[in-house]
């Protein structure tokens, strides 16, 4: 399996589950990380000061940064040596599989030949290289504890004609409580992260609380990479699960038996709720859906439980986790490149980043209040969230010699001039006394350039005289300094008459004397 770097969000989830009392094996299953990797992160966090009974408030950016810095596993490229050993025994392994020899037995047979491979690696090799699939019989899984699990799936309902006469596809996000079979339907046109989280928030309100475990389908807003044994979740939805306190346990791809309650419910919702109905718009359909969930789906006699789902839910489906009291602040995750102007672009707004990161990529998390910029697991910058078309710039991120001009910091510019002399500062203030003072900043910079050329004392005296004359012009100061310098220069006496120095290679003048008579002849 190709190496993937564990994100900070996943590391936080590992430590959060550990603080909740989960064991390493349980965490391995829930976050799809190897148990040894989980152990390394937990041990690094303990070394950084994490205490198991100290609460989730310990999971600060500083602690997570220390954990990331401490845990740097080897970064293998491509397949490992165990995979190569499996490839060398490909024909023999295929023969054993054709003879229905279990994979766990093949591991033992290979070890007798001196070929040692992990069972998990051999399972992947058989599945990916040899197409090994076994059609096993299935068993009915227990429903679990009340309030424990909630199965979620997207289903197509049909088309809705909106007010403009357009036919728009209507989808349903269906939440089914495993124990009671009570369901909630969230109607939407799209399958985006915003729609999924909006549906979840509405479901918690409908049920009056949050279920401990959510079993979703492999929705792209939830699952970044679907895999039967090691799915990878999106950072955004993982953070949402952390915020609401539930654990994600997705079903396998093309395995409807992993969530049969909700798979059967999709057909039921389409036929009982949507078929034959006419709705004005999505909001109208949503109002009818909630009433249908309570009055029709909730009060039917369920075919399996032989009970009314809404009654079972009210009597036994407890306790649920507390329902959220505030709306979720949906963050935006981006990977941005730091440009030459020391800024990154996030949601069409600009944010400054330290110049040392120019040309590199940084991870950005932006919610409605803050924009957090991280690099290699360390938070390097925090900005207030800006609307599109605006920017947030920290002068400390810019070069010191350009920050004042870039930020149009008139106070710092005038203070810099005052440090060279009282009258220089007063003259700079006079230059900036215009309706648009930043348009005169270059004039002040020219004044500071004269200080570097002629010295502070001479420029200060020239500024004093110019202020007395109420002449505010940097060019005048420059001319005053040049004329004063010309007056101080000693004039050289003119050369004496007749004191002409002949050129080194000049000819003798007699050579050019010609007798006119000779010319006439």
For 12-58, the pLDDT digits (tens) are 999 999 988 889 899 888 888 888 989 989 999 999 889 888 888 88
Selection from 202, 170, 404 nearest residue 290 by Cα: 202
Residue 159 forms beta bridges with which residues? 169
31 falls within a domain: yes
Answer with the residue of higher pLDDT: 335 or 443.
Answer: 335
117 falls within a domain: yes
H helix intervals, 260-397:
260-269, 282-292, 309-316
Answer with the residue of higher pLDDT: 448 or 302.
Answer: 302
Answer with the residue of higher pLDDT: 74 or 163.
Answer: 163
pLDDT score of 410: 63
Residues 173 and 263 reside in one and the same domain:
yes
Instruction: Tell me the average pLDDT across 263-269.
Output: 77
Distance CA 397, CA 47 (A): 33
Q: Tens of pLDDT along 478-488?
A: 777 777 766 55
Provide the number of structural domains found in the chain. Answer: 5
pLDDT score of 491 more than 50: no
Residues 309 and 245 reside in one and the same domain:
yes
pLDDT score of 452: 77
Q: Contact, 443 vs 428, CB < 8 A? A: no
pLDDT score of 1: 42
Selection from 314, 143, 315 nearest residue 213 by Cα: 143
511 falls within a domain: no
pLDDT score of 293: 93
Omega before residue 132 within 30° of 0, cis: no
Instruction: Tell me the average pLDDT across 210-230.
Output: 84
Q: Tens of pLDDT along 356-390?
A: 888 899 999 998 899 999 998 889 989 999 999 88
Residues 117 and 44 reside in one and the same domain:
no
505 falls within a domain: no
Q: Quote the mean pLDDT of the chain.
A: 81
Answer with the residue of higher pLDDT: 294 or 77.
Answer: 294
pLDDT score of 521: 45
Answer with the residue of higher pLDDT: 28 or 140.
Answer: 28
Give the pTM.
0.54
Distance CA 370, CA 347 (A): 13
pLDDT score of 11 more than 80: yes
Residues 61 and 48 reside in one and the same domain:
yes
Q: Tens of pLDDT along 429-439?
A: 776 676 666 56
Residue 185 forms beta bridges with which residues? 174
pLDDT score of 302: 83
pLDDT score of 5: 73
Instruction: Tell me the average pLDDT across 450-462.
Output: 77
1 falls within a domain: no
What is the dihedral sign for C-alpha 51, 56, 57, 59? positive
Residues 170 and 282 reside in one and the same domain:
yes
Domain boundary among 368, 397, 426: 397
Q: Contact, 302 vs 181, CB < 8 A? A: yes
pLDDT score of 254: 54
pLDDT score of 143 more than 70: no
Residues 240 and 153 reside in one and the same domain:
yes
Percent share of the chain, pLDDT over 70: 80
Residues 90 and 63 reside in one and the same domain:
no
Residues 349 and 430 reside in one and the same domain:
no
Domain boundary among 265, 292, 316: 316
The length of the chain in residues reads: 521
Q: Cα–Cα distances in Å, from 99 out to 7, 92, 469?
A: 42, 11, 107
365 falls within a domain: yes
Residue 360 forms beta bridges with which residues? none
Selection from 55, 57, 56, 28 nearest residue 41 by Cα: 28
Q: By residue range, what is the domain housing residue 342?
A: 332-397
pLDDT score of 416 more than 80: no
65 falls within a domain: yes
Omega before residue 319 within 30° of 0, cis: yes
Residues 287 and 193 reside in one and the same domain:
yes
Q: Cα–Cα distances in Å, from 154 out to 17, 110, 187, 237, 260?
A: 28, 44, 10, 16, 13
Residues 392 and 481 reside in one and the same domain:
no
Residues 88 and 124 reside in one and the same domain:
yes
Residues 428 and 447 reside in one and the same domain:
yes
For 25, residues 6+ apart whose C-beta sits below 8 A from its C-beta are: 35
Instruction: Tell me the average pLDDT across 460-470.
Output: 75
pLDDT score of 311 more than 70: yes
Q: Tens of pLDDT along 108-121?
A: 899 998 999 998 88
Neighbours of 435 (CB within 10 A): 5
Instruction: Tell me the average pLDDT across 195-199.
Output: 94
Distance CA 155, CA 265 (A): 9
432 falls within a domain: yes
Range scoring the smallest mean pLDDT among 166-175, 309-318, 334-343, 411-420:
411-420
Distance CA 263, CA 181 (A): 12
pLDDT score of 165: 84
């Amino acid at each position: 399996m190709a190496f993937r770097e564990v994100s900070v969000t996943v590391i936080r989830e590992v430590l959060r589950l550990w603080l909740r009392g989960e064991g390493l094996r349980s965490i391995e299953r829930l976050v799809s990380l190897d148990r040894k990797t989980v152990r390394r992160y937990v041990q690094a966090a303990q070394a950084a000061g994490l205490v198991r009974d100290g609460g989730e408030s310990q999971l600060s950016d500083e602690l997570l940064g220390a954990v990331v810095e401490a845990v740097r596993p080897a970064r293998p490229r491509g397949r490992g040596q165990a995979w190569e050993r499996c490839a060398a025994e490909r024909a023999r392994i295929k023969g054993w599989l054709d003879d229905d020899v279990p994979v766990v037995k093949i591991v033992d047979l290979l070890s007798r030949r001196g070929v040692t491979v992990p069972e998990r690696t051999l399972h992947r090799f058989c599945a990916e290289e040899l197409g090994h699939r076994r059609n096993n019989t299935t068993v009915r899984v227990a429903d679990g504890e009340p309030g424990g699990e909630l199965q979620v799936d997207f289903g197509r309902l049909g088309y809705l004609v909106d007010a403009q006469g357009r036919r728009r596809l209507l989808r349903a996000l269906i939440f089914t409580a495993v124990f009671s079979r009570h369901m909630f339907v969230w109607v939407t046109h799209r399958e985006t992260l915003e729609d999924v989280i909006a549906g979840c928030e509405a479901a918690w309100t409908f049920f009056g609380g949050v279920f401990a475990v959510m079993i979703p389908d492999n929705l792209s807003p939830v699952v970044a990479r679907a895999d039967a044994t090691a799915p990878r979740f999106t950072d955004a939805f993982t953070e949402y699960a952390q915020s609401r306190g539930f654990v994600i346990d997705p079903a396998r791809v093309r395995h409807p038996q992993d969530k049969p309650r909700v798979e059967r419910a999709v057909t039921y919702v389409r036929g009982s709720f949507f078929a034959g109905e006419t709705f004005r718009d999505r909001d109208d359909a949503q109002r009818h859906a909630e009433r249908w969930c309570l009055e029709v789906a909730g009060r039917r006699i369920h075919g399996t439980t032989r009970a009314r789902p809404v009654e079972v839910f009210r009597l036994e489906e407890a306790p649920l986790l507390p329902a959220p009291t505030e709306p979720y602040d949906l963050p935006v995750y981006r990977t941005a490149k730091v440009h030459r102007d020391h800024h990154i672009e996030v949601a069409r707004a600009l944010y400054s980043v330290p110049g040392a990161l120019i040309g590199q990529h940084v991870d950005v998390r932006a919610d409605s209040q803050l924009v957090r910029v991280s690099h290699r697991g360390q938070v390097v910058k925090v900005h207030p969230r800006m609307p599109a078309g605006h920017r947030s710039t920290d002068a400390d991120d810019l070069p010191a010699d350009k920050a004042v001009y870039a930020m149009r910091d008139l106070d710092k510019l005038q203070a810099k001039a005052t440090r060279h002399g009282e009258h220089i500062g007063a003259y700079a203030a006079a230059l900036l006394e215009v309706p648009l003072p930043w348009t005169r900043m270059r004039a002040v910079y020219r004044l500071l350039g004269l200080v570097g050329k002629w010295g502070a004392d001479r420029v200060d005296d020239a500024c004093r005289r110019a202020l007395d004359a109420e002449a505010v012009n940097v060019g005048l100061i420059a001319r005053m300094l040049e004329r004063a310098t010309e007056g101080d220069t000693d004039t050289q006496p003119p050369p004496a008459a007749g004191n002409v120095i002949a050129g080194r290679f000049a000819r003798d003048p007699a050579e050019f004397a010609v007798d006119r008579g000779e010319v006439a002849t």
